[in-house]
Amino acid sequence: MELFFKLINGNLHAFYDKLVFKLTQLKWAGLRILFFACTAFSMLTLIGGFFLAPFYTYWFFGTFKFWKYLRLAPRLVFYISFHFPYILLKGTTELPGFLFTPPKSDPDLTLVQLNPAWKHGASCHDCCKCCQKIKCPLLEPKTLNCLSYDSLFWRYFNCSRYPASQVEIDRYQCPKWVVRR
């Protein structure tokens, strides 16, 4: 009888853990889908972006003060409406798998490691080859700093996942990362 209760209790814990993980995956996917839905709403209505501007600045810069970033609006609108979806759909990432992955702040260190020749530690320093190649509007040209670094957009979308393969390292001619062997 005791063995029976242990079996049931173990199965319930396993079921609960799987359920929590699936719900968490749905939350991650929901945030990404919300972003895409807001972008589609903004594109289709042409005025949606004005109403959603505080949310976009929160997602990109961590603040609701959209007026501080109005100078970036034209380039950012083009980027999130056309260029980013094109990169996402054309890229090496499978969209369904991407939707359910957790937000990150670093690449997957089981796949890549720092290049031993890289002298700047965990920082990208002033390299920015990947940002320049995709013409990211969030790269400050004077300082070469990312304006969106570690924001919701940065962690949930492309930047935090880079690189995941040798193809990406080669595409951006990245001196920082090498694939683990």
In tens, the pLDDT along 117-128 reads 988 888 887 788
Q: Print the domain residue range for 158.
A: 2-179
Residue 146 near residue 138, CB atoms below 8 Å: yes
Reported confidence tier of residue 164, pLDDT bands at 50, 70, 90:
confident
Residues 38-97: tens digit of each pLDDT: 989 998 998 888 899 999 999 999 999 999 999 998 888 888 888 777 777 776 555 556
* Number of structural domains found in the chain: 1
Task: Give the pLDDT of residue 67.
Answer: 93
Task: Give the pLDDT of residue 53.
Answer: 92
> Which run of H or E residues covers position 178?
strand 177-179
DSSP-based three-state secondary structure for 181: coil
CA trace torsion 135, 154, 119, 132 (10° rounding): 0
